[in-house]
Structure 1
Amino acid sequence: MAIRQGLLALLSQGPRYGYQLRAEFEASTGATWPLNIGQVYTTLSRLERDGLVSPGEQDEQGRVVYSITEAGRAEMERWFGTPVAQSDRPRDELVIKLALAVTAVTDVRPIIQAQRTATMRTLQAFVRARHASAENPAQRLVLDSMIFQAEAEQRWLDHCEAVLTAATRPQGPADAEHLTTDVPTPEHPNA
């Protein structure tokens, strides 16, 4: 998600100044995406340049309150109406790391185990945070997504270990048939 669309979504609820936007953005995302205040003001400047927000007058403390424009509302609605494509998401460093480890390292199992342990700790922290944020639906949705992703990562790590274990077995004619039936495959409707 681009920060600009997140700020537009928050501004659609009413005028706000930079520090309010930062605090509300972090609260809405369960503090999983901390923003630097410089990012907020740089983004607001670009949104103003693009005609998506308009600044108000400075208050007595020198803060400028921004409002969303009609063009900004249209941009926000376009963003909400457009599904996020898999290709739009950043590359998965863990996948790349394990693929390169299989090429460069003799025994990848310690790498998988270290990641499994770290992912389990993260999963437990997400579950605790979800219980603490039960009253905030936005935070709950973000944390649920992160929990599901961590659970999927655990399953994928199990799958990696099974595939690599099967690949290191000696392969004779009897083993080739055994390999095709014992190696778990991802559970996917199109697989």
Structure 2
Amino acid sequence: MSIRHGLLALLTQGPRYGYQLRVEFEASTGATWPLNIGQVYTTLSRMERDGLVAPGEQDDQGRVVYAITEKGRSELSRWFGTPIAQADRPRDELVIKLAMAVTAPGVEVRQVVQAQRTATMRTLQNLTRAKRAEAGTAQRLVLDSMIFQAEAEQRWLDHCEAVIASLSPNTPPPADPSRTAPSSQE
């Protein structure tokens, strides 16, 4: 995720100092991606170096406020207008974990899948509860995205389990209490 672009977007609302940016970033994302204050100031420093922000005067408490520059606005506009490519996203640790589990001797892959399924279901329940409590549009969109990702992960785990079962048909898949029983029409 681009902290840089998130901070630039916040600065379009007016000059801010680092702590304000951190608080507003976390509020906008429903505190889903907490920021370290050092990360905020490091990013601001790099953006200043790149001409995307300009520091202002210190306030009474010694805090420096930053403002977005025209170059920063252009960069933000470019970012908003450019789709994020799948290849630009970080590696998926779960995919790597399951790929390695399949090839590692002595690993019970079904147990790895089942442990992940349980954790993902718990995450999905927590996200759903958080969504009911949230009021802001930005927070809701972030939570919706995370819910959809968790649902997709559950479907992918179903697929993994089916592939594993097809490769070793003598071993039934583990019982999963979080999944519904098949209907009589199946």
TM-score over 0.5 for the alignment? yes
Q: Which has the higher helix share?
A: 1
Task: Give the Å deviation of 1:106.
Answer: 5.0
Please list, as runs of the form range in 1=range in 2, the aligned pairs for 1:32-181 lying within 5 A after superposition: 32-104=32-104, 105-133=106-134, 135-169=135-169
Deviations 1:67-98 (A, max 9, x none): 10111000000000010000000011101101
Percent identity of equivalent pairs: 78
User: What is the distance in 1 between the residues matched to 2:52 and 2:163?
Assistant: 50
Task: Give the Å deviation of 1:49.
Answer: 1.1
Is the partner of 2:16 in helix, strand or coil?
Answer: coil
User: What is the distance in 1 between the residues matched to 2:54 and 2:107?
Assistant: 58
Q: TM-score, normalised by structure 1?
A: 0.86
Task: Give the Å deviation of 1:107.
Answer: 2.8
Closer, same or farther: CA 47–106 of 1 in aligned 2, 3 Å: closer
User: What is the distance in 2 between the residues matched to 1:169 and 1:112?
Assistant: 17
Structure 1 residue aligned with 2:177: none
Is the partner of 1:54 in helix, strand or coil?
Answer: strand
Unaligned runs of 5+ in 2: 171-186
Letter matched to residue 111 of structure 1: V
Letter matched to residue 114 of structure 2: Q
Is the partner of 2:66 in helix, strand or coil?
Answer: strand
Count of aligned pairs: 169
Letter matched to residue 66 of structure 1: Y
RMSD: 1.0
Letter matched to residue 41 of structure 1: Y
Task: Give the Å deviation of 1:64.
Answer: 0.8
Structure 2 residue aligned with 1:174: none
Q: TM-score, normalised by structure 2?
A: 0.88
Closer, same or farther: CA 43–103 of 1 in aligned 2, 3 Å: same
User: What is the distance in 1 between the residues matched to 2:107 and 2:150?
Assistant: 26
Which one scores higher on RCO, CA 8 angstroms, separation ≥ 6?
2
Unaligned runs of 5+ in 1: 171-191
Is the partner of 1:160 in helix, strand or coil?
Answer: helix
Letter matched to residue 122 of structure 1: T
Task: Give the Å deviation of 1:62.
Answer: 0.5
Structure 2 residue aligned with 1:13: 13
